Amino acid sequence: MNFQLKFAWSDLVQGLKRLWLFCACLIFGVCLVMAAASLYQMLDRVLLSDTRALMGGDVEIESSEPIEQAVLDWLASTGDISLTRELDTMMSTQGDEFALVELLSIDNAYPLYGELTLQPEQNLSSALANDEGQWGVAVDPILAERSQLRVGDTVYIGDLELVIRALVLAQPDRRLNANWRGAPVLISEEAMNASGLLRPGSRVEYEYRIRTSEKVDTWEDNFIAQFPDTDWEIQTFKDRSRRIAERLSQIASGLLIVAFSTLFIGGLGIFNSISVYLQSKRETIATLKACGLRDAKIGQIFVVQIAILASVSGFIGVLFGSGLALIGSQVLSQDLPLVLQASDTIVAAFSAWFFGIVTAFTFALPALGRALQVDVAHLFRANNISGNTISVHWRIASYGFAIMLAILVLFAIPNVLFGLAFLVTVIICLSFFEVVVRGLRWVSRTMEQRQWLLRHAATRLALANMHRPGTPLRITLLSLGTALTLLVACTVIVFSLLRLVETTIPEESPALVLYDVLSEQKEGLHKAASQYDSVNKLTLSPNVRARVSAINGTPIRELGNDDVNWQNQARDEHKLSYLSGNIDGIKIVDGAIWDDSFSANSLANPNIDFAFIMEDREAQQMRLSPGDIVQFSLVGIERTGLLTGIYSQQGIQTRFWFEAIFSDGALDDFINAYVGTIYMDDEEALALQTQLARTYPNIITVRTKDLIDSASDLLNKGTSGLSVISAISLLVSLMVLASVMAAGRSKQSYHAIILYCIGARISYIRRAIIIEYSLLATVVSLFSIILGLIIATLVLQVRLKVFAWDIYWMGMAVACISSVIVFSLGALYLFQKLKIQPAQLLKESS
C-alpha cells in the first residue's frame, strides 16, 4: 500500500490542474448542501419539531374547562403535571394604550422543561406574588418595547391593576405564534382567579403539560383507553396551523431541492471531470500494468486520489457552507428565536462532507472502472483502445456507492417520500434522456441517408457527428438533459415559492382584526366605526366551533383507517363560518363551492342539512374528499353536511383560517360570536381600538400593521436566501455544463482539425458545428422543459400545495437561455481550437 499511496500523492500533485472542475463541483455542491441542511436543521429544531421545551412537556392536554380530579390522579401517576391557563385579553397601560395579550397563569411546577430567564434576575413566584396588595406580572420584552413599558410601570388587565416586575428574556415554550395571538404576560394563579376574567363563556384554555418517562405514543394510547369519551385535545408532536412556520418549511424544502439538485449536477461535472482525467491516465495505467502492478492495486492508487480530492474539496465546501449558514441564521435571528447551534452545524457539516465523498465516488467509480480496463496493447500499437466495459468488481462497487448515496438522500431529506421522489425523478430523467439519445441517433442515421440532404454536406456532417462511434452525444445529452430538467423544475418551484410568499402578505390588510364580537354588539360596533372617516370596509363573519362526529354514516371514533388517529380527530374543534363576509383569502383546490341555487331540500339524501367546503389540511387529515357526507356536533346538536369542495388558505391577513365554510343558514342557530375586520387608516385605528376597549371590553382587537410588517420582513428574508442560493446554484450548474461540453468535445476538435488539414474550409466546419449544436440545443431544451415542468407540477401540487401555472414560462426561459449559453460556449471552444496551429494540435491530440 505504501507504494500506491506514494504514487497516488505524487501523481495527484502533478495532475491537480486537470481536476479543478472535480474540486469546484464538489466544493459548491457540498457548500449548498451544508448551508441548506444547517438552516433546515435549525428551523426544524426551533420551529417545526415539537421539542419538549417548545411543547413545555412530553404531552399536552388542552381543555376549555378544568379536568376532573380522577383524571388528574391518573395523570399524576404517569408523571409530573403542570397547569397553565391561557386567555386572550386586552391589556391597557397608564397612557391608555391597549394591546392584545396572551395571559398565562402558571403554577409552581412550570416550566417542566427548560428554564425561564427574567430581567432583572429573580424567582418567578416572587415576581408574580402579591406585594402589599398589588400583584406582579412578567411581560414579553417585545410587548414592553411596543407599548413603551418598563419594569415598575403599572398595567391593567380585567379588574386588576398590576405592576411589571420583570421582562421574560427566555421562555422555553414561547412559540412563534405568540407574536400573533398576542405577546405573553405571566401572572400567578391567584391573580388570574382575581382578575374577573374567568366568567362563564370566557375562552380559557386549560393546558395540562405532562412530563413522563413513558413512550409518548404508548402514553397516548393508554390515556385514550382509560378515558375514551372525553373531548380534550391531546397534542404530542403537532403544532398545527402555524402558517409562517409552514411557509418557512416550504422555503426550507425548496432550499434542499435546490441544494441536492446542485449536488447532483455537480456529480455530473465530477463524472465528466474524472473521465477526462482518467482518459489522460490511460497510458499511466497501461504502463503500470506492463510493469506488473496488479489491477486492484492500480485501482487503489486512483481510489486514494479520489478520496484525497473528495475529502479536501468537501472540507472546503463545508467551510463555505458554514459561512453561508451563519449569515442566514444571523439574518433570520433578528425576527425569530433562532440561534445556530453547534449541534446543527456539526451534524450538517459531517453529513454534507460525507455526502460529498459518497457523491464523488458514485460518479467517479464508473469512469475509473472503465479506465482500468485499458489494454496494455495500447502501448505497443499507439492506437485508441480505451476500456468501454467495466469489470464486475468495479460495477458492484459503483452500484454500492449509488445505493449508499440514495440512502443518504433519503435520510437527509426530512420527508422520506419526498426523498424517494427526488431519487425516482433522477432515475426517470436519466432513463428518459437515454431514450432521447437512442431516438436522436436513429433519427440522425436515417436522415443522413436522405436524398435531399446529399447536397448539404455540413448538415450531413452534423448528423454524422451524432451517431458516429465514439461520439460524446450520450454523455452530453444525459448530463445536459438531466441537469437542465432539474434546473427547469427548481426554477419553477423557487419562483412559485417566491410568488406564494408575495401573495401571503396581502397588498391591502385590515387595520383592525376583531374577535369575540357578540351578536348584540354588531350594531354598536357599526355605529362606532362609522364615526371615523377613514373606515372604508367593515366585515363580520360568524365564528362557530364544532367537532366532526361521523363520516359517511360511521361514527368517527369507530372508523378503522389505522393511519389516522380518529380519537384525536374526534376531539379536534373546528372553526366554522359562512362564505359571505369571510375575508380569509381562500382558493378551491378540489371540487367546487355549492352553487347559488343550492338547497338541502333538493338533494336526494333527505338527511343532508347543508353543503360545505373544508380546508385542505383538515380534509387531508380525515381523508375527506368532495362528495363525502360529514356529521358535525354543534353544541351537542348533530347536523349533517355534504362536502362539495376543498380549499387552501392563501394569505395571512387575518389569521382566522376557518377550517370549514358552510352554506348560508346552516350555522344560524349556533352563532354567538363574530370575528371581523375593519379597513381604515392606521392612526385612526388606534383611536377606534381604545374606544372599543372601553365600550366593549370583551371584544379583542388587534392592530395588524406591525404584525404584517414583521411577517413580511421575515418571509422576505427567507425568500431572499432562497433566491441567493438558487442564483448560486444556477451559476454553478452553468459552469459545470459548459465544462461538460468542453470536456466531451476534445475528440471533436481533433476531427475538425483533420478536416481542415484535408481541405475543408473553416466556414464549412463552423457551419457543421453550428447545425449540430443548434439541433442538440433544441432537442435538449425541448425535452428538459417537458420533463422539468412535469416534475415541478408534481412537486408543487403534491408536496408544496402551490399552484402557479402562469410562471411556468420562467422554467422554459431558463432552459432555453442555459442551453444557448452552454452550447455557445461549447461552439466557441471548438472555434478557438481551430485558431491554433493545426500541426501543434495534431501533435497534442494524437
Partner 1 sequence: MIQVSNLTMEYGQADSPLRVLDNLNFSMDGGDTVAIVGPSGSGKTTLLQLLAALEQPTHGSIQLDGQALSHLSPDELADFRRDNMGIVFQSFHLIDSLTALANAALPLDIAGQADSTKRAINMLERVGLKDRTTHYPQQLSGGEQQRVAIARALVHEPRLILADEPTGNLDEKTGKRVADMLFDLHAQSQSTLVLVTHDMRLAQRCKRLFWLESGKLRVEENSEFSA
Residue 738 identity (one-letter amino acid): A
The H or E element containing residue 80 is: strand 79-93
CB of 299 to partner 1, least distance (A): 12
Eight-class DSSP state of 134 = B
Does the footprint of partner 1 cover residue 286 (CB under 8 A)? Answer: yes
Name the residue nearer to partner 1 (CB basis): 203 or 395.
Answer: 395
Q: Please state the closest distance from residue 10 (CB atom) to partner 1, in A.
A: 6
Beta bridge partners of 634: 637
14 near partner 1 (CB under 8 A): yes
| Residue nearer to partner 1 on the CB measure, 296 or 339 | 296
Q: Are 700 and 676 in contact (CB under 8 A)?
A: no
> Which residue among 326, 376, 420, 629 contacts partner 1 (CB under 8 A)?
376
The site for partner 1, by CB under 8 A, has a size of 30
Residues 399-458 that bind partner 1 (CB under 8 A): none
To partner 1, the closest distance from the beta carbon of 291 in angstroms equals 5
Q: Within 10 Å of residue 727's Cβ, how many Cβ atoms?
A: 12
- Contacting partner 1 (CB under 8 A), which of 296, 346, 407, 453? 296
Q: Mark residues 331-370: x for contact with partner 1 by CB under 8 A, - for none.
A: ----------------------------------------
CA 73 to chain centre: 42
Minimum CB separation from partner 1 for residue 213, in Å? 59
Among 225, 291, 342, 758, binds partner 1 (CB under 8 A): 291
Q: Is 385 in the site for partner 1 (CB under 8 A)?
A: no
State yes or no: residue 289 binds partner 1 (CB under 8 A). Answer: yes
Smallest gap, in angstroms, from Cβ of residue 469 to partner 1? 18
Tell me how far, at minimum, the Cβ of 368 lies from partner 1, in Å.
Answer: 17
Q: Print the SS3 string covering 732-769.
A: HHHHHHHHHHHHHCHHHHHHHHHHHHCCCCHHHHHHHH
Q: In angstroms, rounded to a whole number, what is the distance separating the alpha carbons of residues 753 and 676?
A: 77
Question: Residues with Cβ < 8 Å from 805, sequence gap 6 or more?
Answer: none
Q: Environment class of residue 129 by beta-carbon count within 10 Å: exposed (0-12), middle (13-18) or buried (19+)?
A: middle
For the chain, the residue count is 846
Told to check if 393 binds partner 1 by CB under 8 A, we report no
Task: Tell me the one-letter amino acid at 198.
Answer: L
d(CA 804, CA 359): 33
Stretch that binds partner 1, among 249-257, 365-373, 374-382, 560-568 (CB under 8 A): 374-382
* Residue 266 CB-density burial (10 A; 0-12 exposed, 13-18 middle, 19+ buried): buried
Q: Which of 20, 237, 350, 380 binds partner 1 (CB under 8 A)?
A: 380
585 makes contact with partner 1 (CB under 8 A) = no
Q: Which range in 5-13, 210-218, 234-242, 822-830 contacts partner 1 by CB under 8 A?
A: 5-13
Segment near partner 1 (CB under 8 A); pick from 289-297, 433-441, 618-626, 715-723 = 289-297
Helix, coil or strand: residue 667 = coil
For the bound state, the minimum distance from the C-beta of residue 289 to partner 1, rounded and expressed in Å, comes to: 7
Comparison of 305 and 322: residue with beta carbon closer to partner 1 = 305
Q: Which of 287, 311, 746, 774 binds partner 1 (CB under 8 A)?
A: 287
Nearest to partner 1 of 286, 316 (CB atom) = 286
Side by side, the strands of the sheet bearing 700-703 are: 537-542, 673-679, 512-518, 700-703
Contact between 69 and partner 1 by CB under 8 A: the answer reads no
DSSP state for residue 156 in the 8-state scheme = E
Among 214, 295, 573, 664, binds partner 1 (CB under 8 A): 295
Among 67, 142, 151, 379, binds partner 1 (CB under 8 A): 379
Show the CA angle centred on residue 814, arms to residues 812 and 818, nearest 5°.
Answer: 120
CA distance 601 to 502: 43
Q: Within 513-669, where are the H helices? A: 522-530, 566-571, 616-621
7 binds partner 1 (CB under 8 A): yes
Q: At what angle are helices 243-280 and 416-448 packed, to 10 degrees?
A: 50
**Does residue number 5 form part of the binding site for partner 1 (CB under 8 A)?**
no
Q: CB under 8 A: which stretch of 99-107, 239-247, 282-290, 777-785 binds partner 1?
A: 282-290
Inter-helix orientation angle 392-412/416-448, to 10°? 130
Residues 102/111, Cβ–Cβ less than 8 Å: no
**Position 293 contacts partner 1 (CB under 8 A):** yes
CA distance to 463, 507, 617, 658, 801, per residue, from 649 (Å):
53, 16, 10, 9, 10
Q: Which of residues 94-123 bind partner 1 (CB under 8 A)?
A: none
Taking CB under 8 A as the criterion, the residue among 283, 669, 706, 713 binding partner 1 is 283
Cα–Cα distances in Å, from 603 out to 122, 608, 609, 643, 663? 66, 8, 9, 13, 14
Instruction: Select 285 or 535, whichever has its Cβ closest to partner 1.
Output: 285
Tell me the H-state helices in 449-472.
Answer: 457-467
Q: Is 759 in the site for partner 1 (CB under 8 A)?
A: no
Q: In which element (H, E) is residue 646 found?
A: strand 637-649
Which set of grid coordinates corresponds to residue 113?
422543561
Q: Report which of 229, 177, 168 is spatially closest to residue 205, judged by C-alpha positions.
A: 177
3-state secondary structure of 579: coil
Can residue 383 be called a binding residue for partner 1 (CB under 8 A)? no
Interaction pattern, residues 224-263, with partner 1; x per rule: CB under 8 A: ----------------------------------------
Q: Which of 11, 335, 573, 590 binds partner 1 (CB under 8 A)?
A: 11
**Which one of residues 10, 94, 330, 530 is an interface residue with partner 1 (CB under 8 A)?**
10
Q: Which is nearer to partner 1, 210 or 368 (CB)?
A: 368
In the set 70, 339, 377, 813, which binds partner 1 (CB under 8 A)?
Answer: 377
Angle (nearest 5°) at CA 49 between 330 and 203:
105
Site for partner 1 in 143-162 (CB under 8 A): none
Is 735 within 8 Å of 268 (Cβ atoms)? no
Residue in 423, 412, 417, 497 with CA at minimum distance from that of residue 800: 497
What is the contact mask toward partner 1 in residues 297 to 316, using x (rule: CB under 8 A)?
x-------------------
- Bridge-based pairing of strands 700-703 and 537-542 is unpaired
Report in angstroms how near the CB of residue 421 gets to partner 1 at its nearest: 43
Site string for partner 1, 631-660 (x = CB under 8 A): ------------------------------
Question: Which set of grid coordinates corresponds to residue 600?
Answer: 338541502
Binding segment (CB under 8 A) for partner 1, from list 89-97, 353-361, 380-388, 453-461: 380-388
Round to whole Å and give the CA distance between 303 and 574: 60
Stretch in the footprint of partner 1 (CB under 8 A) among 8-16, 201-209, 443-451, 580-588: 8-16
Cell 486492484, residue located: 296
382 near partner 1 (CB under 8 A): yes
Q: Does 392 bind partner 1 (CB under 8 A)?
A: no
Give the whole-angstrom CA distance, residue 10 versus residue 15. 9
Nearest to partner 1 of 9, 670 (CB atom): 9
Phi, psi of 100 (to 5 degrees): -75, 130
Stretch that binds partner 1, among 98-106, 183-191, 291-299, 836-844 (CB under 8 A): 291-299
**Nearer Cβ to partner 1 (349/397):** 397
Candidates 95, 120, 133, 292: give the one binding partner 1 (CB under 8 A).
292
Q: List residues binding partner 1 (CB under 8 A).
A: 2-3, 6-7, 10-11, 13-15, 283-284, 286-297, 375-377, 379-382
